Amino acid sequence: MNYFSSGFKLGILGGGQLGKMLLAETRKFDIQTYVLDPSAEAPGRLACNVFQQGNLMDFETVYNFGKQVDILTFEIELVNIAALEKLESEGIKIYPSPKTLKRIQNKGIQKDFYKTHNIASAPYQRFENANALKTAISENKVLLPFVWKCTEFGYDGNGVKVIRKTEDCDLLPNVECISEEMIPFKNELAVIVTRNVSGEIKTYPVVEMEFHPEANQVEYVICPARIDDAVAEKARKLALEVSKAFEHVGLLAVEMFQTTSDEILVNEVAPRPHNSGHYSIEASYTSQFENHLRAILDLPLGDTGSKVAGIMVNLVGEEGHSGDVLYENMEAILGWHGVTPHIYGKRQTRPFRKMGHVTIVNEDISEARKIAEKVKKTIKVISK
């Protein structure tokens, strides 16, 4: 099929920052794009050929949107799977497939999948709701401390909490959840795997993630990870194993723990472009967004190697600020060597909301890390 400067239509479910960055690649190749998003102010609305506002969880909305396009992809997992299954049965190509999405969308099902496929992951238990979890704690079937995760709708650090005492459970929503053993780890790592329709597969280098202590959000993504080559090789090997089990097409971001004994455990996965791969826009030969596009269109995959070391700094809303956004001191960082800001286009800020990111590229990873720290301290995402 001729994708370029033709009548071909690519549909994207979700027009957030991931959709916006994916659309930069479709514009480069002149591919017609249709985007569906619930918000009239979605960041991706200006970069597509056709923008439609609608509920991604509504069957009719997703089904009717999908009927307009040749291939459908998504930038968020929370979409109506029944609609995708019907579209697929009627010949619409959907990548990653509804089958893959079904295994990932619910974190409980995702954890069961790892267990079934003997993929190393932290021990866990599933619960119908928080009340059932509290009962299990009272019966000593769940030991404190542990990590609580809601099985659905948990994004941007929401839906994950460390439970240190029984009273912490009183603040939890009464929804389906899992309790996960707290793993003593020294690093949180991620590997992005890209796989096209024909089965060609490549991995990006292992990245290291530094988290905000309160918000459970990534503050820095460091590529390459500052780990031994043997550990990096183990992580890439496990990521390929996970990719093979899910049989995905497109990108699969595999988040992992490096334990204190250098064991690698899968934390969770995302079947789409991912925060841990944003550095690739400036630092890699082929960005994660271009490779997602190449994969779903069954084109040869691009080089996933890095041209230079890269660090990404997430720009999130400052605590105590809600309302119309103001990026304080942006002009200051624009004069610094190797620094590139990306503003997502969200007009309203709130505490810890992802509003943008900044990439720092440098031949020296330790120098890049110093500049990243400086960027973090300089830019403030506040309200007017």
Could you state, in order of their start, the residue ranges of all structural domains in the chain?
Answer: 9-94, 123-181, 185-383
Residue 180 annotated as lining a ligand binding site: yes
Residue 329 annotated as lining a ligand binding site: no
How many angstroms separate the CA atoms of 371 and 115, rounded? 41
pLDDT tens for 327-379 read: 999 999 999 999 999 999 999 999 999 999 999 999 999 999 999 999 999 99
**pLDDT given at position 159:** 86
Q: Which amino acid is at 121?
A: S
How many angstroms separate the CA atoms of 32 and 298, rounded? 17
- Name, in order, each residue with C-beta under 8 angstroms of 219's C-beta and a sequence gap of 6 or more: 210, 211, 212, 313, 314, 376
Residue 165 annotated as lining a ligand binding site: no
Residue 363 annotated as lining a ligand binding site: no
Whether pLDDT at 99 is above 80: yes
Architecture of domain 123-181: 2-Layer Sandwich (3.30)
Residue 107 annotated as lining a ligand binding site: yes
Residue 139 annotated as lining a ligand binding site: no
pTM, to two decimals: 0.95
Residue 31 annotated as lining a ligand binding site: no
CATH class of domain segment(s) 185-383: alpha beta
User: Is the CATH number 3.20.20.70 carried by domain 9-94?
Assistant: no
**pLDDT given at position 213:** 72
Q: Please, what is the average pLDDT of the chain?
A: 95
Whether pLDDT at 380 is above 80: yes
